[in-house]
Amino acid sequence: MVKSPRIIHLSDLHIGYRDCGEKTARIVLNIIKRESPDNNIIVITGDIADRGACEADLSAGQELLERLRSRGFTVLLCPGNHDYGTGFVNSAETARKFKERFLPQVKEFPRLDMIKNIAFIGLDSTADELHWYDRYFADGELGKVQLQRLEKVMSDPQIKDKIKVVYLHHHPIHFIPFHQLKDRRKLREIIEGRADILLFGHLHFGGTYHNTWNIKIVIDGGSSTGKLALGIFSIKIKHRVIDPADFSVIEKNYLED
């Protein structure tokens, strides 16, 4: 029987904002010190950079992720709205540059990675927010084309007996004006009762919603570096390690030495 790797869920690092870069470096160091690359997959649900248009933010993020990969860790990620611009203004050109740096092997979303007995399905929840008429604010939208592809992936016989992990940036459950996932209802129609684990971030709330949408584990990763929720509220930092073998969740703090 194939042993499932554990999943280390990180989100909303916001490298470039105040001390978030230093905190990310500490998280990376502690993961390297404490965890085995053979037994863990790292999933980052967006907003790696605080300003995707800033070369320094992107370079710092790329260097920190490369530290993990150089130690043998598999790092999967999806983009967030900050990665594609400023957080409130998206840019197709910034999106292109981010994908060239961080996702050069991904030709389209959903991205499907089969690792042992797990199918990781990554989504780009800012994909349809790059037009001149809707590239402002922090909303997300998967778009019709990506949702059609997602339906095909979820129906693919090769993942039928796999543990299915869907991950994206925008919060698909809470509705907050100018921060919502516009097509969350359609996403629900496609993955409800079909995915086993759903991971996301964006609002920095850090909540858990187990068995929501008939999905066993549903986790808002919050901000792994503790950036304020909506720029106002301080939320306890939680780093989750998920064991798909029994669908248990362990809370850790990789910022603690």
Model confidence over 183-216: pLDDT tens digits? 999 999 999 999 999 999 999 999 888 889 999 9
Structural domain contains residue 182: yes
Structural domain contains residue 192: yes
Q: Is the pLDDT confidence value at 1 over 80?
A: no
Q: Is the pLDDT confidence value at 152 over 70?
A: yes
Structural domain contains residue 49: yes
pLDDT band at 36 (very low <50, low <70, confident <90, very high): very high
Average pLDDT, integer, range 164-192: 95
Q: Is the pLDDT confidence value at 145 over 80?
A: yes
Is residue 16 within 8 Å of residue 60, measured between CB atoms? yes
Cα-Cα-Cα-Cα dihedral sign, residues 108, 7, 190, 222: negative
User: Structural domain of residue 75, as residue ranges?
Assistant: 6-252
Contacts of 49 (CB under 8 A, 6+ apart): 13, 14, 15, 16, 57, 58, 60, 61, 82, 83, 98
Q: How far is CA 90 from CA 3, 140, 218, in A?
A: 40, 11, 27
Q: How far is CA 75 from CA 40, 167, 206, 244, 247, in A?
A: 9, 13, 21, 17, 20
Average pLDDT, integer, range 151-179: 95
Sequence letter at residue 18: R
What pLDDT, on a 0 to 100 scale, did the predictor assign at position 233? 78
Average pLDDT, integer, range 29-58: 97
pLDDT band at 3 (very low <50, low <70, confident <90, very high): confident
Structural domain contains residue 239: yes
What pLDDT, on a 0 to 100 scale, did the predictor assign at position 231? 74
Q: How far apart are CA 84 and CA 81, in angstroms?
A: 5
Is residue 235 within 8 Å of residue 12, measured between CB atoms? no
Q: Is the pLDDT confidence value at 38 over 70?
A: yes
Q: Is the pLDDT confidence value at 100 over 80?
A: yes
Q: How far apart are CA 208 and CA 174, in angstroms?
A: 12
Structural domain contains residue 218: yes
Nearest CA to 192 among 219, 168, 162, 164? 164
Mean pLDDT is lowest, of 13-27, 143-157, 226-240, for 226-240
CATH number at residue 154: 3.60.21.10
Average pLDDT, integer, range 67-92: 95
ω before 110 within 30° of 0 (cis)?
yes
Q: How many domains does the chain have?
A: 1
Structural domain contains residue 17: yes
Structural domain contains residue 257: no
Structural domain contains residue 85: yes
Average pLDDT, integer, range 88-93: 91
Most confidently modeled range among 146-155, 172-181, 221-230: 146-155
Q: How far apart are CA 239 and CA 221, in angstroms?
A: 7
